[in-house]
Structure 1
Amino acid sequence: MKKEYRIKKNKEFQSVFQHGKSTANRQFVVYVLQNELEHFRIGLSVSKKIGNAVVRNRVKRLVRQFFLEHKELVDQNKDYVIIARKPVAEMDYAEVRSSLQHVLKRAKVLRKTV
């Protein structure tokens, strides 16, 4: 993902946590907050409880891949913070994709699925 599509600073994460709306399912928690930009930004949080660095980085790659493939379907002008929960460690990409589609539909930020 390009640099302008990422949330990296703690202040930005805290802003989304404090002022955004959260939606969750068993695998992910998603916080959504309106931003002033013309595109969306994502921040990822994967705890050490999920696994070692290899597992955590794999989860982050899978989530980034989902947003890369579905960037036209996701509402623009929003910041997304995705928190991965423990079951994600054993999931493959198809399961991660369907779980993220489910939670983003519940948050009413995904237009339609492909």
Structure 2
Amino acid sequence: MRRSPTSLSRDERLRRRGDIRSLFVAGKSVSGGAMRLVYRSNDLNTSRLLITLRKKFGTAVERNRARRLVKEAYRNQKYGIRSGYDIAFVVYRKGMSYAETAEALISLLKQTGLYEN
């Protein structure tokens, strides 16, 4: 099966409940106006991504669009991001454009020191 250009490989997604729980319990956090970044070292060669939304985010269309925008912004910047971390983005603000999403994502990554570009 051929992957679409916006998909992440199986190894790049944070999926196990225990890993997600330990990220939110023991991870470090940085907040911006639109989203929050939680990160933790994972002792792997790749970084793993989780995108989640605050409660009562809106309709399913708005939730899916927000996830797609963050995923695309991450995919376009992932070669400038340090590997070996579990990263979770918690999106707070709905209705953001791609440019706003990418700017918020890069800003948070720079604050944490995970962005090398």
Is TM more than 0.5 here?
A: yes
**Structure 1 residues 48 and 19: CA distance shift in structure 2, 3 A:** closer
Q: How many residues align?
A: 110
Q: Distance in 2 between matches of 1:11 and 1:29?
A: 20
1: CA distance, partners of 2:54 / 2:116? 29
Q: Distance in 1 between matches of 2:113 and 2:35?
A: 15
**TM-align CA RMSD:** 1.1
Segments of 4+ moved more than 4 angstroms:
none
How big is the shift at 1:47?
Answer: 3.1
Q: TM-score, length-normalised on structure 2?
A: 0.88
Which of 5, 16, 23 lines up with 2:12 in the alignment?
5
Gaps of 5+ in 2: 1-7
Is it true that 1:54 corresponds to 2:61 in the alignment?
A: yes
Aligned sequence identity (%): 26
Unmatched 5+ stretches in structure 1: none
Any idea what SS the aligned residue of 1:70 has? helix
Q: Is the 8 A contact 2:53 2:90 kept in 1?
A: yes
